[in-house]
């Protein structure tokens, strides 16, 4: 059987009224060689860029802005998460025509839902597949982040894998602030039918279980840990370091409870962080400030 099972999944917010279904995916294959051998894969041009091996079926310069951006991303991921860089190649297969990508994905991964791009991990290879389209930069940043992280932390939990990829898919200047996720989570909290809950995220093991809420919340936890206090940033970094050594190490929720006091205190702090980000967005968006007394 070709598909051994999904490791992680990705979703992106779409434009109203709905959101894209699962559009990006991480998967594991039983047979790492299954897609090799001229199986419709791009092979016309190969560009080496640090850890990346970029295969494209169209002319692509090694100095293309997008390729340079992905090389910089490697350093960003490593430094932000305090992880070593790896020399393990991450293969990027770029299709010039979406139709060819669709045909390849339908042929080789018939059980996958339609998605814009996806990451596949096997015992021996890390690969990203993507068509060249309007959101290629964002998609490649997301999927390549999976590649960089899996190269050094192969046992990362699903929720954290996606939270980190959502964080790094944004352009560098955004400081990891995912405006769509901020708006979504703020709306969910206003509805009063949803609560921040890391322990719930940690129970997720299949990408099919992950909803828009989960992706947004996963991003929010990562952003809070990286941007609230140096201690929390260090806690996340230490957790990832421990995961490298032992995939069964104590989960993050338990570690945070030990430091912060209780899950409720922790969730309240994340909520305040989110509300601060939402307030910043309203100011940046030109919303009227609160009236002075």
Footprint on this chain of Zn ion (rule: CB under 5 A) = 10, 24, 162, 165
Please, what is the minimum distance in Å from the beta carbon of residue 119 to Zn ion?
7
Between residues 6 and 266, which has the closer beta carbon with respect to Zn ion?
A: 6
Between residues 10 and 252, which has the closer beta carbon with respect to Zn ion?
A: 10
Please, what is the minimum distance in Å from the beta carbon of residue 242 to Zn ion?
22
Q: Are 166 and 217 in contact (CB under 8 A)?
A: no
Residue nearest Zn ion (C-beta atom): 10
Closest CA to 218 of 44, 22, 10: 10
Sign of CA dihedral 133, 138, 142, 147: positive
Q: For residue 10, which phi and psi values (nearest 5 degrees)?
A: -140, 145
Closest CA to 226 of 148, 162, 163, 280: 163
For the chain, state the CA radius of gyration: 19
3-state secondary structure of 224: helix
Between residues 54 and 164, which has the closer beta carbon with respect to Zn ion?
A: 164
Please, what is the minimum distance in Å from the beta carbon of residue 222 to Zn ion?
13
Between residues 6 and 269, which has the closer beta carbon with respect to Zn ion?
A: 6
Between residues 35 and 159, which has the closer beta carbon with respect to Zn ion?
A: 159
Please, what is the minimum distance in Å from the beta carbon of residue 43 to Zn ion?
25
Q: Are 190 and 161 in contact (CB under 8 A)?
A: no
Please, what is the minimum distance in Å from the beta carbon of residue 30 to Zn ion?
21
């Amino acid at each position: 059987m070709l598909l051994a099972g999904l490791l992680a999944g990705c979703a992106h917010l779409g434009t109203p009224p709905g959101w894209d279904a699962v559009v990006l995916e991480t998967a594991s294959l039983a047979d790492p060689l299954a897609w090799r051998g001229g199986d419709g894969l791009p092979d016309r041009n190969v560009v080496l860029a640090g850890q990346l091996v970029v295969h494209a079926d169209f002319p692509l310069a090694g100095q293309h802005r997008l390729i340079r951006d992905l090389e910089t991303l490697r350093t960003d991921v490593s430094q932000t998460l305090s992880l070593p860089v790896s020399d393990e190649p991450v293969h990027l297969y770029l299709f010039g025509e979406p139709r060819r990508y669709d045909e390849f994905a339908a042929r080789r991964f018939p059980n996958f839902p339609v998605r814009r791009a996806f990451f596949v991990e096997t015992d021996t290879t890390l690969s990203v597949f993507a068509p060249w389209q309007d959101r290629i930069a964002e998609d490649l940043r997301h999927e390549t982040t999976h590649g960089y992280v899996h190269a050094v932390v192969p046992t990362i939990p699903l929720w954290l894998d996606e939270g980190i990829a959502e964080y790094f898919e944004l352009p560098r200047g955004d400081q990891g602030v995912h405006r769509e996720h901020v708006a979504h989570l703020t709306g969910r909290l206003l509805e009063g039918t949803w609560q921040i809950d890391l322990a719930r995220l940690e129970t997720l093991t299949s990408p099919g279980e992950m909803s828009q809420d989960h992706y947004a919340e996963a991003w929010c936890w990562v952003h809070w840990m990286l941007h609230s206090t140096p201690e929390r940033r260090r806690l996340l970094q230490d957790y990832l370091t421990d995961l490298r050594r032992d995939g069964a190490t104590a989960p993050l929720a338990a570690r945070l409870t030990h430091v912060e006091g209780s899950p409720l205190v922790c969730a309240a702090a994340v909520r305040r962080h989110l509300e601060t980000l939402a307030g910043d967005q309203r100011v940046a968006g030109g919303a009227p400030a609160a009236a002075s007394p």
